[in-house]
Structure formats: C-alpha cells, structure tokens
Amino acid sequence: MSSWRPCARDWGRPSNERDDVNARAETTATARTEAEERARRAIVRADDTAARALRAESDLAKVREQLKQTRTDRDAIREEARCLRGNLATVIAERDTARADARRERTRGDQRVSDLRTAHQQQLALLHDMAAELRLTSRWAD
C-alpha cells in the first residue's frame, strides 16, 4: 500500500535506509487508514447519538404535553370536587334541617295526641258521670 516511489535522490541511498523509509511510509499509511476508519465510526456514533437525542427530545415533548394535560385534568377534578363538597355541605344542612323539623313535628304531634287523649278522657268521665246521674234519676223516678 505504499505510495512511496524511488526518486532520483534515493538512488544513492543504501537499501536499509530505503526499507526504513518504505516501512515508515507504510506505517504512516496504515495509521492514516486506521484513523480515517476511526473517524468514520465516530461520525456514525455521533449520528446515532444525534438521532437518539432527537428521539429523546421528542419523547420529552410528549411527556411534557401529557404532564400538562394531566395537570389540566387534575385542576378540573379539583374544581369538581370543590363543587361536590359545596353540594354535600348544602345537602347535609338540608338533611339536618329536615331532621329538626321532623323532631319538632313529632313533638307537636305527640303533644296534640296527648291533649286529645286528655280531652277525650275528660269527656268520657263527664259522660260516665252523666250516665250515672241519669241512672240515679231514672231510679228515683221509678
């Protein structure tokens, strides 16, 4: 692979020196070829790394968009939960009011029944007294 060719000035050189020059030229050419191959591999690796970096940036953009959507969803859910808590508080207050009204009505109903029972017992006692009095007067009249 040597590109070295003897020129006029090399004609007078000893053969060992020429062989050394040829060997150095060949070593240099081999080293250059190896360096070029390493450079090509480095370029391929750099291209692969750049492609991975682009994919990673794309994936990152997708993740960021998903995060943004998730945060939007979370905020909507929080707002809905706030509304539901408000509705729950209203329903609980209405339930407590209805229970208090029911207790009050039950107490009124119980009092009304008690009053009617007392009035009925008084009327019944009065009717018993009147019946007894009528029996007595009917016996006296006989």
Q: Who has greater pLDDT, 142 or 69?
A: 69
Query: How many Å apart are CA 97 and CA 85, to the nearest integer?
Result: 18
Mean pLDDT for all residues in the chain: 91
Answer yes or no: is 21 within a domain.
yes
Answer yes or no: is 30 within a domain.
yes
Answer yes or no: is 1 within a domain.
no
pLDDT of residue 89 exceeding 70, the answer is yes
The span from the first CA to the last CA of the chain, in angstroms, equals 166
At residue 12, the pLDDT reads 55
Answer yes or no: is 3 within a domain.
no
pLDDT of residue 10 exceeding 70, the answer is no
pTM greater than the 0.85 cutoff: no
> How far apart, in Å, are the Cα atoms of 27 and each of 9, 38, 41, 43, 53?
22, 16, 21, 24, 38
pLDDT digits (tens, 9 = 90+) for 33-59: 999 999 999 999 999 999 999 999 999
pLDDT digits (tens, 9 = 90+) for 99-124: 999 999 999 999 999 999 999 999 99
Answer yes or no: is 39 within a domain.
yes
* Domains: count for the chain: 1
> Which residues are CB-contacts of 30 (< 8 A; sequence separation ≥ 6)?
1
**Domain containing residue 131:** 8-141
Element (H, E) at 103: helix 15-141
